[in-house]
């Protein structure tokens, strides 16, 4: 074993090996609902032989979950006739009301349907999701943004 010598400052020579702490991973950017929807849809298209168009199941309606389904689980849909009527989305702050709306709006845009949104509080996530979905569907010219302020 080597002998360590102290200098005036109190450091020992030779310096013993010190393991570096692992590099911190930079936090990844959160995915937008549009990116998540397209990614999951592409995975499902590979695994499931059904008629999905960006997770819009043409026979069932609008799919409500953004998560991948496991074996034995079932997707939840709102059928088209129900969506033509009024839908109320009620909940406390942070429960996912806007996320649910974004999910349905994005599917409608990607499917070529018209969407009209009134957002009195200006939610930037909602606006960016609409624009991203319109770009992905090649419908950016169809977007009209009106701000009365």
- 37 confidence band (pLDDT: 50, 70, 90): low
Q: Where are the domains of the chain?
A: 29-142
C-alpha 119/C-alpha 121 separation (Å) is 6
Residue listed under structure tokens 């599917």: 107
pLDDT in tens, 38-69: 666 666 555 544 433 344 555 566 766 655 55
Q: Is the pTM of this model over 0.85?
A: no
C-alpha 146/C-alpha 143 separation (Å) is 10
Tell me, rounded to whole angstroms, the distance of Cα 114 from its chain centroid: 21
């Amino acid at each position: 074993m080597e002998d360590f010598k102290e200098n005036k400052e109190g450091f020992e020579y030779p310096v013993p090996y010190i393991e570096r702490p692992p590099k911190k991973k930079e936090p990844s950017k959160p995915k937008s609902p549009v990116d998540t929807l397209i990614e999951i849809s592409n995975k499902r298209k590979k695994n499931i032989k059904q008629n999905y168009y960006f997770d819009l199941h043409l026979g069932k309606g609008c799919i409500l979950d953004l998560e991948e389904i496991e074996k034995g689980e079932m997707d939840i849909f709102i059928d088209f006739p129900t969506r033509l009527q009024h839908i109320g989305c009620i909940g406390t702050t942070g429960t996912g009301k806007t996320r649910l709306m974004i999910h349905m709006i994005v599917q409608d845009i990607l499917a070529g349907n018209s969407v009209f949104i009134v957002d009195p509080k200006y939610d930037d996530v909602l606006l960016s999701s609409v624009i991203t979905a319109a770009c992905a569907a090649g419908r950016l010219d169809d977007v009209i943004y009106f701000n009365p302020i």
